[in-house]
Amino acid sequence: AGTAAVIPAAGRGVRLGPGAPKALRALNGTPMLIHAVRAMAASRAVSLVVVVAPPDGAAEVKSLLDTHSLPERTDFLVVPGGDTRQESVKLGLDVLPPGIDIVLVHDAARPLVPVDTVDAVIEAVRDGAPAVVPALPLTDTVKEVEPRTDGSPEPVVATPERARLRAVQTPQGFDRDTLLHAHETVTDGVTDDASMVEQLGKPVVVVPGHEEAFKVTRPLDLVLAEAVLARRRA
């Protein structure tokens, strides 16, 4: 029985502004991807980390893994990614060796997730949940709108009850066979892996997420991430 983490890191990161692929941008001098890899390898349960690199960046990612210090008890693999996040995850799943029965899928864009959150996700899968997501309650009220592309004001359609909503993070954890089955069956465009398991009609459960597992998406998130790292070092 073993646990592997697949890290999709093939996105361009256009919302972050111009520059290198998002995962390769530095946070306090170290590429975001290396922070994310260390966050997964920090869990003693994780024996393998599969990085899904930008399609033309696999060699660069390999050399990054070689030149940064990483735990010796963990194995690392690098594969080139695809056009969508879903495709990239699938390409990572394709190289998992036998003997892995729990799979984490973790965005490179969430470099600062604490190890306790990673371990809580793994624990819940071990306890029998086919799919587990870390999540937090929302602070903002959320409205569903009728999207407009012409710049005119968007009409509000509904206001879901905030207390019933959760903002979902990664790593998401899965029973390996469940996740493989989901990726073979579900083809719709989805933004997370757990929703594919939901579409199969299997239960997905939530464990507490963490504020520091936020996704680095926009320029302000870089400022926040570097402040968190500086505080950890202090």
For ligand C5P, the binding residues (CB under 6 A) are 8-11, 22-23, 52, 81-85, 88, 107-109, 191, 217
In the bound complex, what is the minimum distance in angstroms from residue 39's beta carbon to ligand C5P?
A: 13
In the bound complex, what is the minimum distance in angstroms from residue 4's beta carbon to ligand C5P?
A: 16
- DSSP secondary structure letters along 139-154: SS---EE---SSSSPP
Closer of 9 and 102 to ligand C5P (Cβ): 9
Coil/strand/helix, residue 187: coil
In the bound complex, what is the minimum distance in angstroms from residue 223's beta carbon to ligand C5P?
A: 18
How many Å separate Cα 214 from the centre of its chain? 10
Closer of 109 and 197 to ligand C5P (Cβ): 109
Closer of 56 and 203 to ligand C5P (Cβ): 56
Would you state the structure tokens that stand for residue 153, as one six-digit string?
Answer: 């004001």
In the bound complex, what is the minimum distance in angstroms from residue 28's beta carbon to ligand C5P?
A: 19
Closer of 85 and 183 to ligand C5P (Cβ): 85
- DSSP secondary structure letters along 71-136: -TT-EEEEEE--SSHHHHHHHHHTTPPTTEEEEEE--TT-TT--HHHHHHHHHHHHTT-SEEEEEE
In the bound complex, what is the minimum distance in angstroms from residue 126's beta carbon to ligand C5P?
A: 25
Closer of 56 and 155 to ligand C5P (Cβ): 56
Rounded distance, CA 123 to CA 139, Å? Answer: 27
